[in-house]
């Protein structure tokens, strides 16, 4: 999977993401669902478990930077 194909995919937070925390997201990809370590795209953001997020950067093999997909 190349970097560009991960960017823009949607996922759900399975472990809280925030300052000083390495969170986790699950993303549907390659015909299944995979877990990735996750950091907030904005360093001060905190994203709670269950939030729908969008991948904004991918660092192979298992790390993504994400932002909340919806305001609220």
Determine the Cα–Cα distance for residues 24 and 62; give it in Å rounded to an integer: 10
What is the DSSP pairing of strand 23-29 with strand 52-59? unpaired
Return the pLDDT at 71.
79
What predicted TM-score, i.e. pTM, was given to this entire model? 0.91
What is the DSSP pairing of strand 23-29 with strand 10-15? antiparallel
Q: Is the confidence at residue 62, as pLDDT, over 90?
A: yes
Residues 24-42: pLDDT tens digits? 999 999 899 999 999 999 9
């Amino acid at each position: 999977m190349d970097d560009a194909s991960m960017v823009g995919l949607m996922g759900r937070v399975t472990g809280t993401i925030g300052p000083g925390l390495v969170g986790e997201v699950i993303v549907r990809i390659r015909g299944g669902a995979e877990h990735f370590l996750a950091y907030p795209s904005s360093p001060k953001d905190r994203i709670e478990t269950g939030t729908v997020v969008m991948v904004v950067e991918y660092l192979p093999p298992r790390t993504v930077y994400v932002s909340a997909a919806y305001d609220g």
